[in-house]
Amino acid sequence: MASDILTDAELAEIRERCDKATPGPWVYDERVGCVGVYDGEKRNCLSMPSDSFIFYRHGEYVVPPGEEHGHWTVREDDAALGRFIAHSRTDVDRLTASHAALAKQAEEMRAFLVKAFEYHYLPTVEPENWVDECAYEFCDNIGMDVDRFKTLLAATAARQTDK
């Protein structure tokens, strides 16, 4: 089962795709006869060449039953996709920055938990039995799942070994 937490490599791949994309911010433009996404200043998507769009969908001319004249409309799913694409350019930047900040906070918290565990519990037990004897009580006290805590301990030990 894949983890829900991005690895550094996965985050780097996302960042690389974002960096290679057309620079932003991107503009969402919905007019009577089209919906488009493009970079730069807002313009009239009806008058732009089709190759200048990041995303484009033309509208539909609808003549209601029993009426002589119709009107142009844009499908809601096309409009929703256009809004998603336009915002993705800046959303990915913000999400990757938030992920980096949260990863740093998690690392700091991991180090704090390990130090708290070592300070409070290790002096009371034999070193070869410390996880088995103390982890359950410690985790009960802080409200953390024991297996998750053991994973954090192992990850911290691996990081310390790599240094």
| pLDDT at res. 126 | 57
To the nearest whole number, what is the mean pLDDT of the chain? 78
Helix, coil or strand: residue 43: coil
Q: How confident is the model at residue 1 (pLDDT cuts 50, 70, 90)?
A: very low
DSSP assignment string, 61-106: EE--TT-S--EEE--HHHHHHHHHHHHHHHHHHHHHHHHHHHHHHH
pLDDT 10s digits, 91-144: 998 998 888 888 888 778 777 777 777 766 555 555 555 555 666 666 766 767
Which residue is it, tokens 């060449």?
A: 49
pLDDT 10s digits, 61-75: 889 899 999 988 888
For the entire predicted model, the pTM comes to: 0.60
